[in-house]
Amino acid sequence: MSRIASGAYLAAELILEIGYLFQDNRVDPRKKTNRPLLSMKPNTTVFNLAAGCLLFGTTRKAEQLLEMMPLVGIKADSNLLITMALIYEINGHRDELKKLKRHIDDTCNLGQYQQFYNCLLTCHLNFGDLSSASQMVLEMLSKAKKARNSLASATLTLEAVGTCLEAEAKETLDLLLENLQKRVELVTSECGILQPTEKIYIKLVMPFFKAGKVKELDEFLIKANKEDVPVAIENSTSGKSSSGNSFSGY
């Protein structure tokens, strides 16, 4: 159902209706008579399919699903965190993205969250918060430089999340998430190391000029150039980083 707009909306409504039954421990798992109902309890996979609502523009409905999660005891996996980030970005909930960042920053494998950092950077730009956006880029460059210089980074691998998804549900989820990942423009990942792309610099330079913050722009570009150069967008999907570029000419 989640592959078409009307189906995605109906699927979300169905999840909300079923989820309501499980709020506040209304269903006693110890009772044998509740077993058929317990088998219908929405799980992480079901909430991941809320991405379908996001793709078709019904982001408020998708956000209602997120609000339902803690009420039925659902914990977010990496895919669901990315879905949440996309919903918060489109709905302009920057504070919620900041809360997620505190959680994600503590994880070991940041590479799988490039979409999240893309959402947060986009949100900073939409709010005109050049300071937060530029600081985020500098932090990313600094961490990437340290990671590349570390012997540990050479053996960094992305862990596959083991799940027991049914084949059809997994296929649908993979398709939805693949479509969402196409939106990544500002952040890329190489060997699990997050790096800003050239496009974030382009998006930052003009607002700095328009705001008359030329000095701040110069300071930012100098600091960024000391850390490293960004990855070209066309290379970010092929796993090759650009080299020899400088942004001091902006």
Q: What pLDDT, in 10s, does the model give residues 147-156? A: 777 644 444 4
Q: Which helix (H) or strand (E) holds 195?
A: strand 193-196
Burial degree of 132 (CB within 10 A; 0-12, 13-18, 19+): middle
Burial degree of 15 (CB within 10 A; 0-12, 13-18, 19+): buried
- Residue 137: pLDDT band (50, 70, 90) is very high
Tokens of 137: 């880029």
Residue 250, in any domain of the structure:
yes
Residue 12: CB atoms within 10 A of its CB come to 24
Residue 243, in any domain of the structure:
yes
pTM above 0.85, yes or no: no
How far lies 246's CA from each of 18, 62, 117, 201, in Å? 55, 41, 23, 11
Residue 37, in any domain of the structure:
no
Residue 244, in any domain of the structure:
yes
pLDDT value at residue 182: 57
Q: What is the pLDDT of residues 16-63, one digit of tens each?
A: 998 888 887 778 888 888 888 888 888 888 887 776 677 677 788 888
Residue 95, in any domain of the structure:
no
Compute the C-alpha angle 88/92/94, nearest 5°. Answer: 70
**Nearest-angstrom CA–CA distance, 4 and 60:** 17
Q: What is the pLDDT of residues 157-170, one digit of tens each?
A: 333 343 444 555 55
Q: Which domain holds residue 167?
A: 114-250
Q: 145 or 243, which is more confident?
A: 145
Considering its fold, how many domains does the chain have in total? 1
pLDDT value at residue 161: 41
Q: What is the pLDDT of residues 176-231, one digit of tens each?
A: 666 655 566 888 887 778 888 888 888 899 899 989 999 999 999 999 888 865 55
Q: What is the pLDDT of residues 111-124, one digit of tens each?
A: 778 889 999 999 99
Residue 128, in any domain of the structure:
yes
pLDDT value at residue 108: 65
Residue 135, in any domain of the structure:
yes
Does 130 score more than 70 pLDDT?
A: yes
Residue 134, in any domain of the structure:
yes
